[in-house]
Homo-oligomer: A and B are copies of this chain.
Amino acid sequence: MLDWLRLARTPEVGPATFAQLIARFGSAPSALEELPRLARRGGGKIFVPATEEDTAREWDALEKAGGRLVLSCDPDFPEGLAALAPPPPLISVLGALPRRDMIAIVGARNASALARKFAQLLARELGEARLVVVSGLARGIDSAAHEAALEHGTVAVVAGGVDVIYPPENEILYRAIVEQGAVISEMPFGEAPQARHFPRRNRLISGLSRGVVVVEAAERSGSLITAHYALEQGREIFAVPGSPLDPRAKGANRLIREGATLIESAGDVLSVLGPILGRKFHEPETAPPAAPQIELGLEQEADHVRRRVEEALSAAPVEMDELIRQTGAEPSAVLTVILELELAGRCRRHPGNRVSWAAFPAV
């Protein structure tokens, strides 16, 4: 167990290298043993893996703070993260990681007030639908989403150690999340967040989730990195549109153009996730029938079906093919009757190939 952490904390060993080493040497102790030889072959002079002492100290400190380590080989390692290629070797957890399906809500730190309000609304409704909202505890959209989802349990993935509160003004929110959900990280306990940690944080946000909602994101923003990971990981990507003249909407709009689902409400998210999760959040809408092919008929046929057409017509416009279906007559005959009724001023045509008695005002 300690060797697993030690291998993961060795500076040159990232998740991909970690997975490759375990696959090659079978276990963390064997990999640690082989590391110096491999590094020599690569041209390195001295190779220093993480020390046993540092590793033990991290482990203790985390446990003292009420947290725990979950290794990628543990049975309770989150399914979404275990499925990543490569999975993070381990995560630190403060709080209790919910075992329900998760949905990420991410977006700009300098989000507009409107977008923050939208994120809150969305997070609350997705929480009420028993989804766990995941985000990155950043200012703006992230904070708004965590706050609104708190009572349903929410998960914050942070870029530094789980004990490092960043940004500092989120202290109250951070403590509430530890109480009512979980704060997790791939980074060592006590480590300050650095710019280069954020992509790894974002990879975990999408990895934990069944889908990622991008609320407001400029071009080249962190939220787009999260969406990029979501795509790689086969997660659903949802984006909230905005005006092309607002630079904060550029990223989300581009995602939509590239195939992300445009959403305007929690219902839009749930109607996509429902079938995937095998849950029914929403009744699907049925498509309207196609317009009928119209052909000309004869007056004699018309005489036979006139009464049926007159019975089927009503004050409200009805589609021509509905009329044809109801009367069970040839389209050409129904069309001729309608033509005659129309010329007689008794029926009226409406957009969408619909007809009604003339008493009904045209749409």
Please give the residue numbers on chain A whose beta carbons come within 8 Å of chain B beta carbons, in ascending order. Answer: 11-14, 16-17, 20-21, 23-24, 35, 38-44, 47, 114-115, 117-118, 196, 199, 203, 225, 228-229, 232, 240-245, 249-250, 253, 256-257, 261-265, 268, 291, 296, 299, 302, 335, 337, 339-346, 349, 351-352, 361-363
Instruction: Choose among B23, B264, B345, B361 the residue that contacts A253 (Cβ–Cβ < 8 A).
Output: B264
C-alpha spacing A362/B14, complex, angstroms:
12
Query: SS class of chain A's interface: helix, strand, loop or mixed?
Result: helix
* Shortest Cβ gap from A330 to chain B (Å): 15
In the complex, residue of chain B having the shortest beta-carbon distance to the beta carbon of A40: B344
- Report 17 cross-chain contacts, Cβ distance below 8 Å, ordered by A residue: A17-B342, A20-B339, A38-B339, A41-B299, A42-B342, A44-B344, A114-B245, A115-B243, A118-B243, A196-B361, A196-B363, A232-B291, A240-B243, A241-B241, A241-B262, A244-B264, A257-B268
C-alpha spacing A302/B114, complex, angstroms:
55
- By a CB distance below 8 angstroms, the chain B residues around A117 are 245
Contact B241–A17 (Cβ < 8 Å)? no
Copies per assembly: 2
C-alpha spacing A262/B362, complex, angstroms:
32
Instruction: Choose among B196, B253, B291 the residue that contacts A241 (Cβ–Cβ < 8 A).
Output: B253
Contact B296–A344 (Cβ < 8 Å)? no
Contact B344–A12 (Cβ < 8 Å)? yes
Name the 5 nearest CB pairs between A and B, nearest first.
A44-B344, A42-B340, A241-B241, A42-B344, A244-B264
- By a CB distance below 8 angstroms, the chain B residues around A362 are 196
Contact A43–B344 (Cβ < 8 Å)? yes
* Shortest Cβ gap from A117 to chain B (Å): 7
Contact B14–A349 (Cβ < 8 Å)? yes
12 A-B pairs besides A12-B345, A114-B245, A199-B351 with CB distance below 8 A are A17-B339, A17-B342, A17-B343, A42-B341, A196-B363, A228-B351, A229-B351, A232-B291, A241-B241, A241-B256, A253-B262, A257-B262
- By a CB distance below 8 angstroms, the chain B residues around A345 are 11-12, 39, 44
